[in-house]
Amino acid sequence: MKDINPIYNKTSNKEIQLSFGELWNESEVSGNQHNLVKEDANNLEYQCSSINGIVPGTLVQDFETFIDYLSAHSIQLTNKMEHISRKHLPEINKRITVRNETATAYTEQIYYPYIHFFYFLALSGRLFEKVLGKGGKMILHPTERIALYKKLTDIEKYFFLLETFWVDVNWAKLLDRSDNPLIDSLHELFFICTQEKAGKVISLRNNNRWKLPYRLYDWNFFYLYFEWFGFWQCEIDQESVDSFGNKSNYFAKSIKLTFLGTKLIPILLLDRYIQIWNVSERRIHGEINPIPGSKLNEIGYIDLPKKERNIILKKMNEDQSSQPFFLPFQQLFPKESLQSTLPRNKRRFTKGIYTFKVTFEKNIWRKVILSSQHTMEDLHDIILEAYDFDNDHLYSFFMDGEKWSMDCISSPDDDSEGPKADKVQVGDLGFITGQRFLYLYDYGDEWQFLIEVEDIKETNPESFQPYLKESKGEGPEQYFFDEDWFE
C-alpha cells in the first residue's frame, strides 16, 4: 500500500470543512482573546484549505459516514483480531475521503489506516460495542451514545474525537504493540512545534535535536492521525516505506505545521499532558480505575526545558478531573460552539450487586453474583467453584480482553508488577454493563474464560457470599487422563 495519501471525495466540488473563520467573525466574543482570534481567522481558513482538505471538518464528516454505515449494517468481526470483516471494508473505503486505492477484496482492516483509526475511535468512545451475534460470531452493536454524539455541534464532535484519541484510545494497541514507545518523543516533537509558526516545515530525517529521527521511528501512522486532526501536513518518506517492506507501516520525511496545530499542540502538551490524561498510560502505573485529569502519583521523566517541565509537574498535583477535556480549548472558539461532550464515568467506587456471565464456549457458561465489596479474588474463587476446578494455580484477569497484556489484575502469588486480585474490589473497577474481559487460569494449560458484566444493580448491598445463579452446558474436565497411560 504505497499510496495512502488522501484521495478526495469526488461527489462534491467543495471540500468539506468547518468554517472556523465564519464562526469567529460572527460570534460576539469580548476581550483581547477575541481580537487575537479575529486577526488569525483568515490565516486559519487559508491553512485549512491549503492542506488538501484534511481538516477537522473532513474528519468529522468522514467519521459520521463511517458510524452511519456501521449502524445500518450487521458488522461481523473477524475471529482472531475482532476487526471489521473484509466484506464491508471496500464499501466503507469508497465512502470516505482518505482511501486505500490499492486495496483488493482480500485486504484486511489494518491495511486501511483511516478505517482502522475510526474503528478504534468508535470503540474507545463507546459509540459501538462488541456483542455476541448469531452463530457465536462477534458483531459491532451501536450504543445509546451515538444519539448523544449526533446532537453535538461540529466543533464539539471534533473535540470529542480528539478527547477519545488522546484520553481513551490505547495507543499501544493502535500500534499493535504490548507497550507504547511514543510518550517521550511525543512531548519532544510537540515542544519543537510550539517554537514554530504555521507553515514551518520540520524535518524528521535530519533533525538531531533529542536524536529525533531515531526516537520517532515507531510513530508509524500516528503522523497521519495528527494530520487528520489538522495539526500538520506530512511529507511521506517513500524510500523508508519501500525499504521497510511492510504495507502496514508509514514513515514521514517532514511535517508542515498548520495554524490550527500551533493553537492546539501547546494546550495538549501543557494543559492536557498525555500521562495525566490517557487512561491506558495511567494504568501502566498501577491505577485500577483511572480518572483522566485526576492527581497523578508518579510520572515518567519529562525531557523538556525547566519552565515547561514545572508546568506539567504542577498539573500532575492538581485534580482536573471535574473539568471537561475541551475546557482549555474554549478560548479558541466562540463559546456557544463548544459547550458539550459525551459523559464519562468518574466514580471511584460503584456500590451494588454485580452479575457476571463467565463463558467457556458458546453453550457453556455460568452466571455468578458478587457485591461491590467482594474482591477479584472472590470472583476467581466462585468461577472455579462454578466450573468444579481445583484452586491450585496462578491466574490473571486481563481487563482489555488481551491475553498477557499489561492491563492485568493478577493472583496474589504472581510475582509480576501491577494490582493483585485480593486487593482490588469489584466496585473499584468502574465496570459498565456489557463490559467484557478475560480470565485466564493456570499459566501452563491456559484455561480461558470470557467474562461479561451482565447486570449492575446499584444499591447498598448487605453482606453475602458470592454464589452461582445460573449455568448452561457441562464444563470441561480440568485434568485429562489417557487410560492408555495406566496400561
407, amino acid identity:
D
Quick one: 12 exposed, middle or buried, by C-beta within 10 A (0-12, 13-18, 19+)?
exposed
Q: Which three cell numbers stand for residue 287?
A: 491505577
| CATH fit for domain 353-472, picks 3.30.450.20, 3.90.1280.10, 3.20.20.80, 3.10.290.30 | 3.10.290.30
- Cα-flanking dihedrals φ and ψ of residue 138, to 5°? -80, 140
- For strand 252-257 and strand 232-236, is the pairing parallel, antiparallel, or unpaired? antiparallel
Smallest Cα–Cα separation from 160: which of 354, 338, 6, 348? 338
> Can you list the pairs that 70-74 forms with residues at least 24 positions away whose Cβ atoms lie under 8 Å?
70/122, 70/128, 70/140, 70/142, 71/142, 71/146, 74/133, 74/139
Task: Kindly give, in sequence order, each residue whose CB lies less than 8 Å from that of residue 125, ignoring residues fewer than 6 positions away.
Answer: 145, 149, 160, 161, 164, 168, 342
As a whole number of angstroms, the distance between CA 115 and CA 239 comes to 25
Q: What is the pLDDT along the chain (487 residues), one digit of tens a residue?
A: 434 443 333 333 333 334 444 343 333 333 334 333 333 444 443 333 322 333 468 999 999 999 999 999 999 999 889 999 999 999 999 999 999 999 999 999 999 999 999 999 999 999 999 887 877 788 999 999 999 999 999 999 999 999 999 999 999 999 998 888 898 899 999 999 999 999 999 999 876 666 777 888 899 999 999 999 999 999 999 998 988 877 778 999 999 999 999 999 999 999 999 999 999 999 887 788 899 999 998 887 788 999 999 999 999 999 999 999 999 999 998 878 899 999 987 777 999 999 999 999 989 999 999 999 999 999 999 999 999 999 999 999 999 888 888 889 999 999 988 899 999 999 999 898 888 999 999 999 999 999 999 999 999 999 999 999 999 999 999 987 655 544 5
Instruction: Specify the DSSP class assigned to residue 84.
Output: B
Residue in the block written with cell 492542506: 51
Residue 377 in contact with residue 421, Cβ under 8 Å? yes
DSSP H or E stretch at residue 268:
helix 259-270
Reported as a single tens digit per residue, the pLDDT across 216-242 is 889 999 999 999 999 999 999 999 898
| CA angle, 17 then 19 then 25, to 5° | 175
* Annotated domain spans of the chain: 20-337, 353-472
pTM for the predicted model, two decimal places? 0.84
Reported as a single tens digit per residue, the pLDDT across 57-92 is 899 999 999 999 999 999 999 988 999 999 999 999
Q: How confident is the model at residue 335, as a pLDDT?
A: 78
